[in-house]
């Protein structure tokens, strides 16, 4: 069996809520006990509604947020408590594509300068070698050379996304975390960007963690999916199994909520009521029980653990 | 049956530093009472501009209407006396649900204050306000008996949009509410004046998928119950499929196709529509995008604005905009080479 390229063990990221005099008056459990193994070459989807902790999880893997507890291993090596200098070497092969590529490019730098920057930081290449490398990457993401002399505001959102991706790929990473890679794009652009992701994965031998709230995107891209709700994975498994036979009531409602053109209209009888509770004040037991049609006494008393249920795993006392 | 709202050949643009941007080019649409019409298109296609033009809230300094009419219940909103439009139509007969429920409330007032502020002026129980007032608006009288009736109407409507504990809800500040709750309040506020037409500008874009399903269901149900027409602008074809009776497609400021919802998804005729539908992600992962980019509107392509990205385009497409081609009941397309017998 191949070794996992990235593995998370019971990862927790809590943020303190502070009151007067900086006194700690509570905490928000953004990520609360998440474990998974990422195999080389796979596309792993993390899906959930806003505020469920999926971006926090991605950022914790990158070391942007410090985990409260738990461990992160990259190619077998612990990376959650590395010294900053050792961290830099890891960061080269583990890259993060931000949600808003427009905001992550410096508006006063030309695209060319933004593309040089990661190579200046992480490699010893000279100017000519860097130029050669970025031109080849630019071609791979489908942008003309002339874009090197443009400023970010002169190109469209889809092109900015391509530049953001080119910037990451210049370092030849192994794992790329894509945080909402299609939010804010129109469907026609989204389709081309997604096929670009697929092509680049082949060319550069990448492993993706794809974070998205858009189930349609997750479904077309991923081989394995984990569904998060309020900081926990409630269900995970192969994509087809999750979409065709969701076991957790929350997954079931998510899948049911996607409009299906030509199918039954979900708005006629959508059964999930209410909204997620305040993450600073979670309900006892199962976090979903306040909205769950199956909730019983047991759900209020005991939090269900993520337990295997072929072909995936589910955290529910009464799975379907 | 005459349409409630009929937009005919509306053209308008904005004066920009680079020149005149022609944002709408002879756009037509019509809505009947109780109908939900989807106005679908990608960002920058002019759907929000069209919605704002109907409402009459375009920026006065830069927007220039170069032709066309907007008929609402028989009056042309573009030529009617602005003061009377303001009194009887805008905010009363036509109301608006904004895209972003997070920035549409004033953060320093409770939502109850903000709702009552609307009703002070736009309540269906308020008579005609005097055209010319000597006192500033802020000291205008709000009779106690009307206020009482308005409060009851508000509570009833908050119940109808499924907000729990309406009395407490009114005392809250916007930051205490979730996005879904704020959008429900926005819908309630749009319905309170008893409008004939609600313009909903991407009402679910900022919301999660489960909340989106709830909100779309709510809009559909209220429109049917109250016989209110809804103009729903959206870039999400799935949302349009869910609740619309008919769909209008726009591309780069031109309307390209209009059809009843079932025909629209079963037999799209315009090449742009078919490509847009083919771009939707599906389980097989075969979704194809549309090559090229949306053209700039300062110097738009002549004729049909889609021709640079269309493989069916030929001579006439580049010269003259195609006329309306009726394909069936309520289904028309503006294309010289439509897909006539699409699957």
CA distances from A100 to A44, A96, A160, A188, B58 (A): 20, 12, 9, 18, 28
CB-CB neighbors (< 8 A) of A186 in chain B: 42-43, 235
Strand-strand pairing, B36-40 and B246-251: parallel
Is the pLDDT at A227 greater than 90? The verdict is: yes
| Cβ contacts of B238 on chain A, cutoff 8 Å | 258-261
Label residue B138 exposed, middle or buried (CB < 10 Å: 0-12, 13-18, 19+): exposed
Contact assignment for B238 to A49 by CB distance below 8 Å? no
For residues B140 and B93, the model is more confident at B93
**pLDDT (mean) for A286-315:** 88
Cα diameter, chain A: 68
Across the interface, whether the CB atoms of B289 and A192 are under 8 A apart is answered: yes
Is residue B227 domain-resident?
A: yes
Distance CA B292, CA A270 (A): 38
Per-residue pLDDT tens over the stretch B205-248:
878 888 888 889 999 998 999 999 999 999 888 889 989 999 99
Q: Determine the Cα–Cα distance for residues A273 and A293; give it in Å rounded to an integer.
A: 9
Query: A127-140 and A157-169 helices cross at what angle (nearest 10)?
Result: 130
If you average pLDDT over every residue of chain A, what do you get?
A: 87
Q: Please, what's the largest Cα pairwise distance for chain B?
A: 68
Percent of chain B past pLDDT 90, that is, above it, reads 39
Chain A, nearest residue to B209 by Cα = A257
Q: Classify residue B108: in a domain, yes or no.
A: yes
Chain B environment of A50 (Cβ under 8 Å) = 179, 208
Quote the pLDDT of residue B341.
65
Residues of B in contact with A189 (CB under 8 A): 42, 289
The domain tally of chain B equals 1
Does A191 sit within 8 Å of B281, measured CB to CB?
A: yes
Name the DSSP letter for residue B175: G
Test A258 with B280 for CB contact under 8 angstroms: no
Q: Is A143 an interface residue toward B (CB < 8 Å)?
A: no
**This prediction's pTM:** 0.84
Nearest CB to A187; choose among B265, B266, B280: B280
pLDDT at B137: 65
Buried b (16+ CB within 10 A) or exposed e, A11-46: bbbbbeeeeeeeeeeeebbbbbbbebebbeebbbbb
Expressed as residue numbers, the domain containing B40 is: 5-127+138-244
Residue B129 pLDDT > 80: no
In a domain, B302, yes or no: no
Helix (H, G, I), strand (E, B) or coil at A13: strand
Where on the phi/psi map is residue A275: left (φ > 0), alpha (ψ -120 to 50), or beta? beta
What's residue A80's pLDDT?
83
Structure confidence at residue A176 (pLDDT): 92
Per-residue confidence (pLDDT) for residue B11, from 0 to 100: 93
Tell me what percent of the residues of chain B surpass a pLDDT of 70. Answer: 94
pLDDT of A130 above 90 = yes
* Contact call for A261 and B237, based on CB within 8 A: yes
Which residue of B47, B165, B289 is the best one to mutate when testing the A interface, meaning the one whose CB has the most A CBs within 10 A? B289
Q: What is the pLDDT of residue B343?
A: 44
**CB-based contact (8 Å) between A188 and chain B?**
yes
Q: Please tell me if residue A215 touches chain B, with a CB cutoff of 8 Å.
A: yes
Domain containing residue B183: CATH number: 3.40.50.300
Which of B40, B181, B208 is the best substitution to test chain A (most A C-beta atoms within 10 A)? B208
Whether residue B205 lies inside any domain: the answer is yes
Inside any domain, residue B86:
yes
The per-residue pLDDT for range A25-38, each reduced to its tens digit, is 888 888 988 999 99
pLDDT range class, residue B127, cuts 50, 70, 90? low
Evaluate whether A259 touches B238 at the Cβ level (below 8 Å). Answer: yes
pLDDT of A163 strictly over 80: yes
Q: Which of A193-197, A230-234, B139-143 has the lowest mean pLDDT?
A: B139-143
Among chain A residues, CA nearest to B212: A257
What pLDDT is attached to residue B285? 63
A-chain CB neighbours of B210 within 8 Å are 49, 253-254, 257, 270, 272
What is the interface size between A and B, counted as CB pairs within 8 Å? 118
B261 found inside a domain: no
Q: Do A188 and B275 touch (CB under 8 A)?
A: yes
Q: Which chain B residues touch A221 with a CB distance below 8 Å?
A: 285
Question: What does the pLDDT look like over B235-294, one tens digit per residue?
Answer: 888 889 989 999 999 999 999 999 999 999 989 999 999 988 888 877 666 677 787 778
pLDDT band for A228, please (50, 70, 90 cuts).
very high
Alpha-carbon gap: B244 to the closest alpha carbon of chain A (Å): 11
A273 reaches B (C-beta below 8 A): yes
Most confident of A180-194, B55-69, B133-147: B55-69
Q: CA A253, CA A266: separation in Å to the nearest integer? A: 10
Select the residue of B213, B237, B287 nearest A267 (Cβ to Cβ).
B213
Confidence of residue B316 (pLDDT cuts 50, 70, 90): confident
Q: How confident is the model at residue A84 (pLDDT cuts 50, 70, 90)?
A: confident
Helix (H) or strand (E) holding B222: helix B209-226
Is residue B163 situated within a structural domain?
yes
Among B180, B238, B277, whose Cβ lies nearest the Cβ of A259? B238
In a domain, B191, yes or no: yes
């Amino acid at each position: 069996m191949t070794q996992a390229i990235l593995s998370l063990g019971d990862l927790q990221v809590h943020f303190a809520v502070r009151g007067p005099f900086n006194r700690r008056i509570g905490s928000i459990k953004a990520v609360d006990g998440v474990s998974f193994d990422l195999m080389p070459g796979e596309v792993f989807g993390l899906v959930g509604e806003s505020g469920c902790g999926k971006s926090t999880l991605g950022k914790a893997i990158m070391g942007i947020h410090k985990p409260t507890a738990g461990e992160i291993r990259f190619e077998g090596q612990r990376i959650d408590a590395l010294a900053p200098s050792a961290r830099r070497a890891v960061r080269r092969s583990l890259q993060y594509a931000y949600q808003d590529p427009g905001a992550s490019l410096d508006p006063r730098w030309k695209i060319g300068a933004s593309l040089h920057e990661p190579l200046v930081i992480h490699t010893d290449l000279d100017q000519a070698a860097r130029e050669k490398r970025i031109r080849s990457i630019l071609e791979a993401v489908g942008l003309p050379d002339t874009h090197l002399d443009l400023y970010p505001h002169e190109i469209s959102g889809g092109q900015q996304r391509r530049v953001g991706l080119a910037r990451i790929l210049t370092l030849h990473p192994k794992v790329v975390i894509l945080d909402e890679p299609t939010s804010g794009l129109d469907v026609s652009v989204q389709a081309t960007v997604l096929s670009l992701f697929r092509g680049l994965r082949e060319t550069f031998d990448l492993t993706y963690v794809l974070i998205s709230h858009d189930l349609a995107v997750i479904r077309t891209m991923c081989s394995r999916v984990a569904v998060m709700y309020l900081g926990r994975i409630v269900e995970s498994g192969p994509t087809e199994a999750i979409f065709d036979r969701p076991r957790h009531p929350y997954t079931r409602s998510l899948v049911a909520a996607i409009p299906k053109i030509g199918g039954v209209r979900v708005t006629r009888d959508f059964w999930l009521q209410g909204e997620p509770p305040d993450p600073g004040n979670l309900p006892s037991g199962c976090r979903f029980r306040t909205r769950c049609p199956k909730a019983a006494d047991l759900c209020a008393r005991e939090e269900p653990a993520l337990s295997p249920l072929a072909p995936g795993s589910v955290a529910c006392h009464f799975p379907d | 049956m005459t349409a409630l709202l009929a937009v005919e050949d509306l053209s308008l643009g904005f004066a920009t530093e680079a020149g005149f941007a022609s944002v709408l080019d002879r756009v037509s649409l019509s809505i009947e009472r109780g109908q939900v019409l989807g106005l679908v298109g990608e960002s920058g296609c002019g759907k929000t501009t069209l919605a704002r033009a109907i409402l009459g809230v375009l920026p006065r300094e830069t927007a220039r209407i170069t032709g066309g009419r907007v008929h609402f219940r028989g009056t042309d909103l573009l030529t009617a006396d602005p003061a009377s439009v303001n009194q009887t139509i805008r905010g009363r007969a036509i109301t608006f649900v904004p895209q972003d429920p997070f920035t549409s409330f004033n953060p320093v007032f409770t939502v109850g204050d903000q709702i009552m502020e609307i009703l002070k002026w736009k309540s269906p129980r308020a008579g005609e306000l005097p055209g010319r007032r000597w006192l500033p608006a802020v000291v205008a009288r709000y009779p106690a008996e009307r206020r009482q009736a308005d409060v009851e109407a508000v509570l009833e409507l908050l119940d109808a949009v499924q907000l729990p504990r309406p009395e407490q809800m009114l005392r809250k500040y916007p930051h205490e509410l979730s996005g879904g709750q704020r959008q429900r309040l926005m819908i309630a506020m749009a319905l309170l004046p008893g409008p004939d037409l609600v313009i909903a500008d991407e009402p679910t874009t900022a919301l999660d998928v489960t909340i989106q399903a709830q909100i779309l269901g709510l809009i559909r149900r209220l429109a049917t119950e109250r016989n209110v027409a809804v103009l729903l602008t959206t870039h999400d074809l799935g949302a349009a499929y869910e609740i619309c009776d008919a769909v209008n497609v726009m591309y780069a400021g031109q309307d390209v196709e209009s059809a009843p919802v079932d025909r629209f998804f079963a037999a799209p005729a315009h090449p742009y529509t078919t490509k847009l539908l083919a771009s939707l992600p599906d389980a097989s992962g075969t979704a194809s995008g549309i090559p090229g980019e949306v053209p700039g509107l300062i110097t738009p392509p002549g004729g049909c604005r889609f021709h640079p990205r269309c493989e069916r385009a030929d001579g006439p497409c580049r010269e003259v905009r195609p006329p309306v081609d009726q394909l069936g009941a309520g289904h028309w397309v503006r294309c010289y080479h439509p897909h006539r017998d699409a699957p």
